[in-house]
């Protein structure tokens, strides 16, 4: 039966050959040919490929393959082929002819065992030989669940590779893992069967026409955009995918993934990189596009828990209980809505918020990327007289409208007061007037608006790109891992977060609106009581009092964490202002660890009057790791403080732990170098303020119990050993700390309760509890403890 089919296909093939020389034959094998994706998009995409390429350089054959029995599969494929539609721009007669050819070139085959793969390969070879053709390549499209990947990959690799001189392309569909580790494992597994250049991982958003137009648009409008595409002009970027559907029917997938893995990690991140990446000189070079994109991934600033807001439509848990036979008490924490605030750490985008948002069961279905520009104009003419292309006071925006929504089609929109864009006229045309239609608060007539001449489904676009070997429209292993590397820490930190419940559709009202300040996102409205599914945040007493008392005979300030940090930051600023007034400079030595992080953030975002220009920043201690290592105390300081303030770089004094390409080697004399720097710049080696912490074992700075150095003696800076990783440290010594004019010790959290109680009772025993040796000789010591550390 297969032989007959082969002969029939060969005849069809020959029939389709035109007079000119062919460059070769391409076989497309659609695995999962009877599945949903194949039925809805892939067969149509393959037909489109044939329409575009028939009569050009290549001949084709299309093999639908699946585990479905031959009879059923054939019937399915015949039905799908019959239902293929003709695009508007192909004349009906021509299309009917090509459809007939496509049907004759397509066949179904049952593909399950390794013998089946061997047979498939043989049949392709026979076909090529019969037709007197040369094989150009084979495309295997995996439209199958990921658990089937490994087996299929093994079979293709061992028996279905084309001969020398012909290429192999395997097309893979998401999910590509669940987090960084699983993505890595999957990539390693696939890497055992295929070379990187053979793999085409699909993100269908890269095939959406408006998304695929982002780089060409940036390229063709370089001149106009050069001066606009940066933090100096862009106020914010919104990357949005709203859906009205919910997850019913696919909760088993959704429970495992949730909206961030399903949409943000892939579709929205891909779009983000296309907007944010530096534009290569030659955007038709896949290689340089991919390289530039990777650099954009690397510039993404790490996310924190506060970078996201999560929601879940109310019916979701019930759907999971029903579809997965879970008990009545089951409540899912899977988010079906997420808003995330992303920042880029590079000179082009520093400070520009990129808002990524997606959700199910929302009020409308729409997707877009909106670049909103700052408006620095003042218009003298009254606003009724403003004209769209002349008034600089109207909003200025560029929108890549991905689809659906009010417009109902993909589009590229540019505010008329920006510039008249250039788009390729063979594929984009101006949108006709739509009176009454408003987009982003403006009538459509405010924009230069373009839509595709021929609307194309994302899969058709991507199938064509696979055929043309355009790797830049696909996700490489490096990109995939970079993206998971970016999202996994956030996903981990949100794993137990209770999402805000929302009713779904228009009833959501403003419940999901969110706003941002600095790096934090939060819902604009309070959570309504009846929707709270779990215990809310611990109530804060209102009208708090900062408690003033004594601890180890020095002043103690105690409060709830937020107020404590606010008080400490105020005190530091006051000390700084006084020091600068008296001496012209302020020398501040800061500790590492997690407790000072909120303090750094407070100083960075609330203290605009801080005399940073006259402040010298020193480190109290450092881990023996390179300064760019996330474990480095300096890196903490850099992330949470330095990059947000303006301190002259020559006033920043990291500890020299990394000299001569090695870490904290005695011979390199890093500790002595730091001590000399202090002596040279700090009068009398007396810091104006030293901020310390207290470890649960009573350590302070990097002076640990029983430390052989740093507790007394002459040395100002010492190398020490920590009981926990990284073991090697550099630290200011107690004698140096005690020369300070002021020492503040910040102690936060319940874990410190025991040591706080213990240290309150002990005397001066720095060998056992180094913190007990902190006693400024002529300066002041103040303890800052939150209620949990102080009262438990």
Q: What angle do CA 21, 24, 26 make, to 5 degrees?
A: 140
**Rg for the chain, CA atoms, rounded:** 32
Q: Quote the CA–CA distance of 18 and 98 in Å, as a whole number.
A: 13
Nearer to ligand BG6, 135 or 262 (CB): 262
Which residue has the CB atom at the shortest distance from ligand BG6? 262
Nearer to ligand BG6, 254 or 450 (CB): 254
Quick check: 622 and 633 in contact, CB under 8 A?
A: yes
CB of 251 to ligand BG6, least distance (A): 12
Q: Quote the CA–CA distance of 497 and 551 in Å, as a whole number.
A: 37
* Residues 6 or more apart in contact with residue 285 via CB below 8 angstroms: none
CB of 371 to ligand BG6, least distance (A): 20
Q: Strand pairing partners for 746?
A: 693, 784
Nearer to ligand BG6, 363 or 765 (CB): 363
CB of 241 to ligand BG6, least distance (A): 6
Nearer to ligand BG6, 335 or 367 (CB): 367
Known catalytic residue at 653: no
Nearer to ligand BG6, 183 or 263 (CB): 263
Using alpha carbons, select from 137, 111, 1 the residue that is nearest to residue 57: 137
CB of 323 to ligand BG6, least distance (A): 15
Q: Quote the CA–CA distance of 557 and 569 in Å, as a whole number.
A: 13
Neighbours of 723 (CB within 10 A): 11
CB of 176 to ligand BG6, least distance (A): 12
Using alpha carbons, select from 50, 414, 396 the residue that is nearest to residue 210: 414
Tokens of 640: 């949470």
Tokens of 544: 């708090």
Tokens of 43: 């067969």
Interacting residue ranges for ligand BG6, rule: CB under 6 A: 243, 262-263, 367
Q: Which of 180, 267, 404, 587 is catalytic?
A: 267
Nearer to ligand BG6, 2 or 257 (CB): 257
Nearer to ligand BG6, 135 or 243 (CB): 243
Tokens of 718: 């010492």
Tokens of 381: 């003419």
The alpha helices in 610-747, defined as continuous H runs, are: 633-640, 670-681, 734-737
Nearer to ligand BG6, 238 or 571 (CB): 238
Nearer to ligand BG6, 367 or 452 (CB): 367
Is residue 149 helix, strand or coil? helix
CB of 79 to ligand BG6, least distance (A): 24
Nearer to ligand BG6, 263 or 490 (CB): 263
CB of 208 to ligand BG6, least distance (A): 7
Quick check: 450 and 33 in contact, CB under 8 A?
A: no
**Dihedral angle of Cα 68, 74, 79, 80, to the nearest 10 degrees:** 60
CB of 367 to ligand BG6, least distance (A): 6
Q: Quote the CA–CA distance of 181 and 618 in Å, as a whole number.
A: 37
Nearer to ligand BG6, 191 or 505 (CB): 505
CB of 271 to ligand BG6, least distance (A): 12
CB of 103 to ligand BG6, least distance (A): 27
Helix 633-640 to helix 596-606 angle (10° resolution) is 30
Q: Quote the CA–CA distance of 745 and 595 in Å, as a whole number.
A: 10
Q: Strand pairing partners for 18?
A: none
The alpha helices in 607-721, defined as continuous H runs, are: 633-640, 670-681
CB of 253 to ligand BG6, least distance (A): 8
Element (H, E) at 720: strand 717-721
Longest dimension (CA), the chain: 100
Neighbours of 766 (CB within 10 A): 20
Distances (CA, A) of 18 to 13, 55, 132: 10, 6, 14
Is residue 405 helix, strand or coil? coil
Strands 234-242 and 652-653: unpaired
Sign of the alpha-carbon torsion through 506, 507, 510, 513:
negative
Q: Quote the CA–CA distance of 169 and 462 in Å, as a whole number.
A: 13
CB of 252 to ligand BG6, least distance (A): 13
Tokens of 52: 């575009």
Neighbours of 557 (CB within 10 A): 22
* Residues 6 or more apart in contact with residue 86 via CB below 8 angstroms: 92, 95, 96, 99
Is residue 645 helix, strand or coil? coil
Nearer to ligand BG6, 359 or 770 (CB): 359
Q: Strand pairing partners for 700?
A: 703
Q: Which residues participate in catalysis according to the annotation?
A: 267
């Amino acid at each position: 039966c297969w032989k007959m089919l082969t002969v029939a296909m060969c005849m069809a093939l020959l029939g389709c050959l035109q007079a000119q020389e062919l460059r070769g034959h391409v076989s497309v094998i659609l695995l999962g040919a009877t599945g949903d994706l194949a039925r809805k998009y892939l067969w149509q995409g393959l037909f489109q490929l044939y329409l575009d390429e028939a009569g050009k350089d290549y001949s084709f054959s299309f093999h639908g393959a699946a585990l479905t029995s031959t009879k059923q599969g054939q019937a399915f494929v015949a039905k799908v082929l019959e239902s293929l539609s003709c695009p508007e721009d192909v004349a009906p007669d021509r299309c009917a002819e090509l459809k007939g050819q496509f049907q004759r070139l397509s066949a179904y085959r049952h593909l399950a065992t390794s013998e089946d793969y061997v047979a498939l390969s043989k049949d392709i070879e026979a076909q090529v030989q019969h037709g007197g053709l040369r094989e150009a390549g084979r495309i295997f499209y995996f439209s199958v669940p990921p658990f089937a990947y490994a087996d299929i990959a093994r079979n293709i690799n061992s028996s279905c590779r084309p001969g020398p001189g012909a290429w192999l392309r395997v097309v893979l569909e998401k999910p590509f893992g669940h987090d960084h580790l699983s993505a890595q494992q999957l990539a390693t597994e696939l890497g055992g069967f295929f070379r990187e250049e053979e793999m085409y991982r699909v993100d269908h958003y890269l095939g959406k026409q408006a998304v695929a137009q982002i780089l060409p648009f940036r390229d063709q409008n370089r001149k106009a955009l050069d001066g606009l595409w940066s933090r100096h002009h862009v106020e914010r970027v919104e990357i949005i995918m709203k859906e009205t559907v919910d997850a019913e029917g696919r909760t088993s997938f959704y429970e495992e993934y949730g909206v961030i893995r399903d949409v943000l990690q892939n579709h929205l991140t891909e779009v983000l990189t296309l907007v944010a990446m530096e534009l290569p000189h030659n955007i038709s070079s896949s290689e340089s596009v991919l390289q530039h994109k990777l650099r954009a991934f690397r510039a993404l600033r790490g996310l924190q828990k506060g970078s996201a807001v999560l929601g879940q439509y109310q019916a979701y848990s019930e759907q999971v209980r029903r579809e997965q036979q879970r008990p009545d008490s089951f409540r899912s924490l899977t988010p079906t809505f997420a808003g995330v605030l992303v920042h880029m750490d590079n000179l082009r985008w520093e400070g520009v918020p990129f808002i990524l948002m997606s959700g199910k069961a929302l009020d409308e279905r729409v997707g877009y990327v909106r670049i909103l520009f700052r408006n620095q104009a003042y218009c003298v003419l009254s606003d009724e007289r403003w004209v769209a292309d002349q008034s600089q006071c109207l909003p200025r925006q560029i929108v890549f409208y991905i689809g659906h929504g009010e417009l109902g089609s993909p589009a590229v929109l540019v505010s008329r007061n920006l510039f008249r864009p250039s788009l390729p006229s063979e594929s984009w045309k101006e949108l006709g007037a739509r009176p009454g239609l408003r987009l982003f608060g403006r009538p459509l007539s405010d924009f230069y608006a373009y839509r595709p001449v021929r609307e194309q489904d994302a899969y058709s676009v991507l199938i064509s790109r696979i055929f043309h070997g355009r790797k830049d429209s696909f996700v490489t292993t490096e990109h995939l891992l970079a993206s998971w590397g970016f999202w996994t820490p956030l996903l981990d930190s949100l794993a137990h977060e209770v999402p805000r419940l929302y009713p779904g559709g228009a009833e959501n009202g403003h419940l999901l609106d969110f706003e941002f300040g600095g790096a934090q996102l939060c819902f604009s409205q309070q959570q309504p009581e009846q929707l709270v599914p779990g215990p809310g945040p611990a109530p804060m007493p209102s009208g708090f009092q900062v408690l003033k008392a004594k601890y180890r005979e020095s002043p103690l300030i105690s409060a709830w964490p937020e107020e404590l940090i606010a008080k400490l930051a105020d005190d530091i600023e006051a000390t700084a202002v006084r020091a600068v007034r008296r001496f012209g400079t302020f020398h501040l030595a800061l500790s590492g660890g997690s407790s000072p992080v909120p303090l750094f953030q407070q100083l960075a975002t609330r203290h605009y009057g801080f005399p940073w220009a006259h402040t010298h920043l020193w480190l109290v201690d450092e881990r023996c790791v390179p300064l760019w290592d996330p474990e480095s105390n300096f890196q903490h300081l850099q992330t949470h403080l330095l990059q947000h303030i303006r301190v002259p770089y020559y006033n920043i004094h990291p500890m020299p732990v990394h000299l001569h390409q090695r870490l904290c080697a005695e011979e390199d004399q890093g500790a002595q170098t730091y001590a000399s720097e202090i002596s040279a710049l700090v009068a009398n080696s007396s810091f104006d303020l030293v901020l310390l912490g207290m470890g649960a074992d009573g350590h302070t700075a990097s002076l640990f119990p029983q430390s052989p150095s740093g507790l007394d003696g002459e040395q100002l800076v010492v190398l020490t050993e920590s009981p926990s990783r990284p073991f090697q440290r550099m630290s200011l010594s107690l004698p140096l700390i005690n020369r300070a004019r002021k020492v503040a010790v910040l102690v936060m959290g319940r874990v410190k309760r025991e040591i706080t109680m213990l240290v309150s009772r002990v005397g001066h025993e720095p060998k056992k509890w180094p913190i007990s040796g902190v006693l400024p000789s002529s300066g002041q010591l103040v303890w800052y403890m939150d209620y949990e550390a102080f009262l438990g």
